[in-house]
Structure 1
Amino acid sequence: MKFKLAFILLGLTTSIFGQNLIINTASGKVEGTANEDKTIAIFKGIPFAAPPVGNLRWKAPQPVKSWEGIKNCTAFSASPMQAPPAPFFCWSEEFIIPKEPISEDCLYLNVWSGAKSNKEKRPVLVYIYGGGFRSGGAACAIYDGEAMAKKGVVLVSINYRVGVFGFLAHPELSAESGKNSSGNYALMDMIAALKWVQKNIEAFGGDADNVTIAGQSAGAFGVNYLVATPHTKGLIHRAIAESGGSFVQNPLRPNVNMKAAEELGIKYAKTLNCNNLAELRAKSAEEIQKSQGGLSSPIVDGYIMPEGIFEIFAKGKQNDIPTIVGWNEDDRIGSPAAKAEVFKEQMTKRFGGSVADFLKVYPAETDEQAAKSQIALGRDETFGIQDYIWAKMQTQTGKSKAFVYNFNRKLPAYTPETEFGAFHTGEVPYAYNNLHTVKRPWEVVDFKIADTMSSYWVNFAKTGNPNGKGLPDWKTYATTDEQVIIFDKTIESKPLPSKPQMAFWEKYFTGK
């Protein structure tokens, strides 16, 4: 052997074959590989649940069947069933899943670790992808875990079912569950992955008693649900949510209760000419996917989610853990469409007697001003207010600290036509130090932001506090001064810039 690996991960049995490692998990041995400079062990496509196919479609994830021999885990598994991926709006190919493979058989995870032994107990960071709960997968280039592993965490990225595969509710499904509930299969997948981490991560040098869950967009919504559900007690110890949460009625994610979700499921079955669950399960995955129907978001099912998130936090029943939340300056879905007068008419119809208060914080005296206000409106109502209320309620009903950020760095673009500013998901390559995975004309300051932001994330995973030597001070969020850290060409803590807008939405949604 011409080289000696800088690490040896020890499971019950561990061997080195060239650059590959063999780790003994609870279900069997897995073989991974090393990165280019031989400092990080990489395992891709480790099963954490049985394939959710056939009679296991729309069921809680079932245990993995143990295997004999050694399972090769050097390539990503299939992404969950979803529409064929294609770049759109601000999301280039680095932000979306590979074109193939895509399959129902998708419940796999990936591990990156730089530990030299299984005694190190490095902090674990479990990443949950976004995609509106209809798309996404752990194989996106921007989710690569090598850079974060080099900074000292064991990074785990997971798959979960999306679209109708992850959220269909139906009376027959509720009856067979034994819990009188159905629909939250995606959340159950996330919980099953966290249970896998508890059983197995020590073999990879990780600490099962120090697990941070992190996610962006739908992944942040998922983090919010995982923090709220009682089913993650003892499984999670810190949380990071980038542009997402579910505290108040979201225009993209309407609140649906169990009864309403089941009724939607019945209607969905009829669109496929199915009269019962057996007929639904007999349909091919491709037929199900093409139907473009059914729910695609979590519900209050009385089991995984016994109550709504707002109610859970209001009663202080959430997992009381340190939390980072934040959103981007140009977080939005779509572009402004209405001229000033039309926009004001629309908002008058919506807000009635409150429209004057609305127009104070979202002015529309000119078309240009109205366009800017529509961008801010899409950001604040869909993402900002969720994370704002999250930080505020955690501070009020919990004992653990919250830290809030605004990501304002406008990403460099190749042409004016591809200029989307600090767009939704744009912060992810920075937060995980993965600028090298995205084809952009990066400037020196971008690499500085990425190094700083990822260091905050790693410090937080280690201690529950993002601050560390050589980093700008990130002040704890408090309702008295509402300090947030701004990620831009200059990184500094400031009073929340969008406080007037947040105050409007807080009063609108909560009456306070």
Structure 2
Amino acid sequence: MRKRFLAVLLGVAVAATMAPSPPAASAHEGPAVRHTSLGSVRGVDEGGTLSWRGIPYAEPPVGESRWRAPVTHRPWHGVRDAREFGDGCVQEGRFFSPAPSGPHYGLDIRDGLKKPVGAEDCLTLNVFRPSGRQRNLPVIVFVHGGSNMVGYSADPMYDGRALARKAGAVVVTVNYRVGVFGWLDLPGPGTGDPLGDSGNFGTLDQLEALRFVNRNARAFGGDPGNVTVMGESAGAVNVWALMVSPLSKGLMDKAIPLSGGLQFATPAAARTYADRFVAEAGSVDRLRSMPAGDLIRAQVRLGDPPRVIADGTVLPADHHAAIASGRYRDVPVLAGNTFEEGKLFGAVIGAYRPNDYDRFTLQYEFDADRPSGLTVRDLIADGYLPVDGPGGWNEAAGQLTDSVFMGIVEDSMNSLRAAGNDRLFYYQFGWNQQPAPFDTVYGAVHAIDLPFVFRTFDEGIFAFSFSRRNEPGRLRLSGLMIDSIRAFVRTGSPQHAALGTRWGQWPRSVVFDATDTAATARPGAFAG
């Protein structure tokens, strides 16, 4: 019965890829009105870019739909306004969370730390494309990071406008359920729906968003037969998960997973956590009716749930076996890491001197173009000083980089290579030109490559890094990286003339770096 259900479901997914595309906007409606399979949307012409924000792709996962597989949003009548971002999904406030006052970046993010922020009604996506009449553009779907616990598509670091223009692509950024709302394997008899009983609600949200893209790419000038799924950190874990999910057939043609790999939770670990979560509430029924904020507070007390569950339906029980037997999306892959990933996670080992509230404030208010008087000692605890000494910050952060990030990338890429994939590319990112002391405290830290990929230097969590002094080099480096993405989404290879070097297959790499004035791309190799 289960196999028959999956066969029918896969048939529906494939049939969706063959459905006729909605018509493009007529001349009198203007370029910012487009007709999707769900209804018409009005975006905004921003001079060089057309943008549509907050488009719902699934019904709100609230009430009886909490902890259920997503349902395609019902069609709407008239023209829906799509000029504002939708709410981020409900989550525990952390550095990469939305502000308590809404889906934007601001100083008040610090006021939401450890508290519930976002909303349950959150399954929206955003579309950006270059102005003009170009059709059949490559499509890039970006899945945000945040440990699958936090994050939101309205983060200014993920603003898709510059990437859309410079890569000549349709860029889509997606909200999906996170934390206990995204992954929770509830005990009990189940619903009879293998998808809803999988516990992988966040993964299913991403699949539903990809179905929306498949049905509607042409409405925005994109090619549904050329969709690259890109993600960073937990977003990269999700990209890898989508590559091995049997439900993603026909929905992705290339992959760009940055700073992440195949990393699934076991069903046993997921169920153990869910049992504890239910015990905290008293019963499954009570859990289903609790206010979202109370659930987040319970999650804070219990700790993070296991995410991305190897349930055997949405995701294979053994991803290595699935890849070895060819049951995965055999597509070109462009993966990457930063050289100092671990420097973002000093709080885990008590290496940061300020608490999160004070550190966020300090970084938010830092002026990269004015001498600050800050020193490394103001940010790094005495136990990790001197930074270059034995057991110092550089060594400790290097251990975090190796233990958390490098092993899963090596395992994931080697698994694909062993299965015969010969379109595997890898980059390493070394830019560390922040004003002192951040060049030492963070350097080539986890996620610092994203402002270069999106060319989003003006606002966001890393804005303190970007000064007038380092602008020439970083803009040139951003150009090299975006040109690599532009080539990859079109050809399956990131090679282009401006690199000035040959991009070899994994485990060879290209190392991206820059001084204050010049960018470089040199040959390298993975060293896990």
TM-score range, shorter chain: 0.7 to 0.9
- Cα pair distance change 1:337/1:12, threshold 3 Å: closer
How far 1:115 sits from its partner (Å)? Answer: 5.7
- Tell me whether 1:370 sits opposite 2:401 in the alignment: no
- Looking at structure 2, the residues matched to 272 and 13 of structure 1 have their Cα atoms a distance apart, in angstroms, of 50
How far 1:475 sits from its partner (Å)? Answer: 1.8
- Cα pair distance change 1:497/1:165, threshold 3 Å: closer
- Cα pair distance change 1:149/1:97, threshold 3 Å: farther
- Looking at structure 1, the residues matched to 430 and 131 of structure 2 have their Cα atoms a distance apart, in angstroms, of 34
- Cα pair distance change 1:13/1:453, threshold 3 Å: closer
- Tell me whether 1:298 sits opposite 2:308 in the alignment: yes
TM-score scaled to structure 2, two decimals?
A: 0.78
- Looking at structure 2, the residues matched to 10 and 22 of structure 1 have their Cα atoms a distance apart, in angstroms, of 12
- Cα pair distance change 1:497/1:282, threshold 3 Å: closer
- Tell me whether 1:409 sits opposite 2:416 in the alignment: no
1:433-448 equivalent positions in 2, closer than 5 A: 433-437=455-459, 438-439=463-464, 440-441=466-467, 442-448=470-476
Aligned residue for 2:482?
454
- Tell me whether 1:287 sits opposite 2:294 in the alignment: yes
Percent identity over paired residues: 28
How far 1:177 sits from its partner (Å)? Answer: 2.4
Correspondence for 2:23 among 8, 11, 14 = 11
1:82 and 1:162 in contact (8 A); partners too: yes
2:432 and 2:439 in contact (8 A); partners too: no
Aligned residue for 1:51?
60
TM-score scaled to structure 1, two decimals?
A: 0.80
- Looking at structure 1, the residues matched to 265 and 406 of structure 2 have their Cα atoms a distance apart, in angstroms, of 22
- Looking at structure 1, the residues matched to 121 and 185 of structure 2 have their Cα atoms a distance apart, in angstroms, of 20
- Looking at structure 2, the residues matched to 176 and 454 of structure 1 have their Cα atoms a distance apart, in angstroms, of 45
SS in 1 for 2:498: coil
Correspondence for 2:345 among 329, 334, 344 = 334
How far 1:40 sits from its partner (Å)? Answer: 1.5
- Cα pair distance change 1:75/1:202, threshold 3 Å: same
- Tell me whether 1:325 sits opposite 2:335 in the alignment: yes
Aligned residue for 2:44?
33
Q: What stretches of structure 2 of length at least 5 have no aligned partner?
A: 1-20, 98-103, 352-386
After TM superposition, the structure 1 stretch with the greater mean CA deviation from structure 2, 418-427 or 51-60, is 418-427
1:123 and 1:211 in contact (8 A); partners too: yes
2:432 and 2:444 in contact (8 A); partners too: yes
- Looking at structure 2, the residues matched to 75 and 108 of structure 1 have their Cα atoms a distance apart, in angstroms, of 11
SS in 2 for 1:470: helix
Aligned residue for 2:357?
none
How far 1:414 sits from its partner (Å)? Answer: 5.9
- Tell me whether 1:492 sits opposite 2:514 in the alignment: no
How far 1:310 sits from its partner (Å)? Answer: 2.8
Aligned residue for 1:469?
497
- Looking at structure 2, the residues matched to 54 and 261 of structure 1 have their Cα atoms a distance apart, in angstroms, of 23
- Looking at structure 1, the residues matched to 148 and 421 of structure 2 have their Cα atoms a distance apart, in angstroms, of 31
Q: Which amino acid aligns with 2:127?
A: V
Calculate the aligned-residue CA RMSD, in Å.
Answer: 2.9
Q: Which amino acid aligns with 2:248?
A: T
SS in 1 for 2:477: helix
How far 1:327 sits from its partner (Å)? Answer: 0.8
How far 1:435 sits from its partner (Å)? Answer: 2.3
After TM superposition, the structure 1 stretch with the greater mean CA deviation from structure 2, 295-304 or 437-446, is 437-446
- Tell me whether 1:116 sits opposite 2:132 in the alignment: yes
Correspondence for 1:420 among 417, 442, 450 = 442
Aligned residue for 1:137?
152
How far 1:47 sits from its partner (Å)? Answer: 0.6
- Cα pair distance change 1:416/1:64, threshold 3 Å: closer
Correspondence for 2:78 among 69, 78, 98 = 69
How far 1:260 sits from its partner (Å)? Answer: 4.0
- Looking at structure 2, the residues matched to 212 and 284 of structure 1 have their Cα atoms a distance apart, in angstroms, of 37
1:170 and 1:182 in contact (8 A); partners too: no
- Cα pair distance change 1:86/1:291, threshold 3 Å: same
Correspondence for 2:317 among 300, 303, 307 = 307
Aligned residue for 2:355?
none
1:81 and 1:161 in contact (8 A); partners too: yes
- Looking at structure 2, the residues matched to 413 and 210 of structure 1 have their Cα atoms a distance apart, in angstroms, of 40
1:78 and 1:101 in contact (8 A); partners too: no
User: Which deviations, in whole Å up to 9, do the C-alpha atoms of 1:173-193 show, x marking residues without a partner?
Assistant: 744424583211000000000
1:406 and 1:484 in contact (8 A); partners too: yes
- Looking at structure 2, the residues matched to 51 and 457 of structure 1 have their Cα atoms a distance apart, in angstroms, of 33
Aligned residue for 1:483?
508
1:162 and 1:296 in contact (8 A); partners too: no
